[in-house]
Amino acid sequence: MDFETLKSSSSNFDKITKALEKNLGPEDQANKNKYQDDRLWKPELDKTGNGYAVIRFLPASNNEEMPWQRVWSHAFQDKGGWYIENSLTTLNTKDPVSEDNTRLWNTGVDSDKDIARKRKRKLSYYSNIYIVSDPKHPENEGKVFLYKFGKKIFDKISEAMQPQFADEKAINPFDFWKGANFKLKIRKVDGYWNYDKSEFEGVTPVASEDTAIKAIWAKQYPLKPFVDPSNFKSYEELKEKLNRIIMGTRSTETVETVDLPQQVNGKVKSTNVVNSKPASEEDDTLSYFSKLADEE
């Protein structure tokens, strides 16, 4: 899709809305990351525990159809250490953790159900965003980043696209010309990040001139790598790791081992970033990852 087609199509609002409906099925019912990826933007809280920024969700990147990708993942600890992996259910294929969770749940034993709950999937979305205002880091303003967010923010997007009341007009938040800036407002509620006060502003172009808009579009990142099967471990690899974690066999992997799709010289590959740390320090991160699972 070229720029003129993008403009005339109004960001494929109908297609995006249909994809939105598919995402709203029954299954959809302060530490920094331990790795560095300059493409990813994350809001930062102030001393009072609040966070504020104004961002703009961007349309599909060149040669892509959708302005977001969603990824299921697991993050839990057992005797053998941490299991932090993307779930193959993202690709609509069987996953060893989901299979074992189903087995545990179907026993009807409360202790088994508790284990399944602790291992539950986490849903994340990835989109391109334009930073309108970032008071904590003004150097980010006017730049394009990837943004990882959860169901609560996605619900805000879906409400804007499919309003519940007759006096509310549907908008496509991802549209360059007919979209709206998103005021991200974060509060700490019971120790977790809360986004309830976040809201979209009125409809306005992301920039006043098409040349400026086209420049923003040219800086967007591809999203397909996040759901490229080549960037997921095989069922056998995940099964072996799950067994190792459950049985208590220690490996050299730590909580800081993370795979993210990267773009290098125009090609996409999966990059493994590792920072070793003592096992005792890994134990201290349990509460962090527990909160992270519900944070978004």
Q: Tell me, what CATH number does 142's domain have?
A: 3.90.198.10
Cβ atoms < 10 Å from Cβ of 83? 20
Q: Is residue 271 part of a domain?
A: no
Tell me the pLDDT tens digit for each residue of 234-275. Answer: 999 999 999 999 998 654 444 444 445 555 444 445 444 334
Q: Measured between alpha carbons, how far apart are the two ends of the chain, in Å?
A: 32
SS3 203: strand
Strand partners, 182: 55, 200
Residue 17 confidence class, pLDDT cut points 50, 70, 90: low
- The stretch 200-205 carries a mean pLDDT of 97
pLDDT value for 279: 39
Q: Model's pTM, two decimal places?
A: 0.75
Q: Is the pLDDT score of 133 beyond 80?
A: yes
The yes-or-no verdict on residue 6 having pLDDT over 90 is no
244 assigned to some structural domain: no
- Domain extent for 20: 3-77+87-222
Residue 78 — very low, low, confident or very high, per pLDDT cuts 50/70/90? very high
Q: What is the mean pLDDT of residues 286-293?
A: 43
Question: Are 49 and 191 spatial neighbours (Cβ–Cβ below 8 Å)?
Answer: no
DSSP E strand stretches across 19-133? 40-41, 51-57, 68-78, 81-86, 122-133
Residue 24: exposure state from Cβ atoms within 10 A (0-12, 13-18, ≥19)? middle
Residue 170 in domain:
yes
Structure tokens given for 107: 């026993």
Q: Which residues pair with 55 in a beta bridge?
A: 131, 182
Tell me, what's the pLDDT at 93? 98
Average pLDDT over residues 195-214: 97
Over residues 196-203, the mean pLDDT reads 97
pLDDT at 286: 41
Please report whether residue 129 resides in a domain: yes
Asked if the structure places residue 111 within a domain, the reply is: yes
pLDDT at 85: 97
The residue that leads in pLDDT, 21 or 264, is: 21
- Work out the mean pLDDT of the chain and round it to a whole number: 83
**207 within some domain:** yes
Summarize the confidence of residues 279-289 as an average pLDDT: 39
Assigned domain for 291 exists: no
The domain total for the chain is: 1
- pLDDT tens for 173-194 read 999 999 999 999 999 999 899 9
Domain annotation covers residue 253? no
Ranking 29-33, 89-93, 119-123, 247-251 by mean pLDDT, the lowest is 29-33
Structure confidence at residue 248 (pLDDT): 84
